[in-house]
Chains A and B, each alone.
Chain A
Amino acid sequence: NAGVTQTPKFQVLKTGQSMTLQCAQDMNHEYMSWYRQDPGMGLRLIHYSVGAGITDQGEVPNGYNVSRSTTEDFPLRLLSAAPSQTSVYFCASTPGGGGDTQYFGPGTRLTVL
């Protein structure tokens, strides 16, 4: 199993550009999440999904869109990139339930100029 995969690993955007961060998992997990990691702030939840067709907002959803058409994929779309979105983005998946382990992807380092 590849686990949780993310593409690209690195990306540089100009302000106003849009892009999609890809996330896929091959463990048949129902729950998937997107976090951003910023120095001194830990990881903050952007959006999450409890199954195909079901998504909800996390702590910092503004400027991001998600959709979940399949169990495997959970892309994160930046609609109009801003310098404040410069961050490291992590995708994670878990079978479900509060006590289950979350499995993280390797991360995407995004810089917005």
Chain B
Amino acid sequence: AQRVTQPEKLLSVFKGAPVELKCNYSYSGSPELFWYVQYSRQRLQLLLRHISRESIKGFTADLNKGETSFHLKKPFAQEEDSAMYYCALSRYNQGGKLIFGQGTELSVKP
């Protein structure tokens, strides 16, 4: 069965500290992996997708197929990064069906 696990419900760091939000998945095929973010009072929006291999707002994520992980990292956290982060998976060519992790709330303190 497909599953996405985010082990931390809440991650609290100080401004300027490095951040790593963990995401592990189980899927037998070739998954498409995403990070979505929900800022306070805003709708859910895409932050990163692994096929793009890009850096958005200083965040990066590398797909590690051996460890079945897709951790989200940022070297220096900013207060505006405080939000709810969701890791998500879809099968190849099944864009309408996302499987989400439980979400991690990131709190960046001044």
**B90 is an interface residue with CB less than 8 A from chain A:** yes
Closest CB in chain A relative to B85 CB, distance in Å: 11
User: Which residues of chain B have C-beta atoms less than 8 A from A31's C-beta?
Assistant: 95-96
Number of A-B residue pairs having CB atoms within 8 Å of each other in the complex: 70
Give A35 to B36 CA distance when docked, in angstroms.
14
**Category for how many chain B residues contact A:** 20 to 34
Known: A31-B95, A43-B98. Contact between A99 and B86, CB under 8 A? no
Q: How many residues of A contact B (CB 8 A)?
A: 30
B102 x A58 contact (CB < 8 A): no
**A75 is an interface residue with CB less than 8 A from chain B:** no
- Interface set of A (CB-CB < 8 Å, partner B): 31-33, 35, 40-45, 48-50, 58-59, 90, 92, 94-102, 104-107
A-B contact pairs, 6 of them (CB 8 A): A33-B98, A40-B102, A43-B44, A90-B43, A99-B32, A99-B51
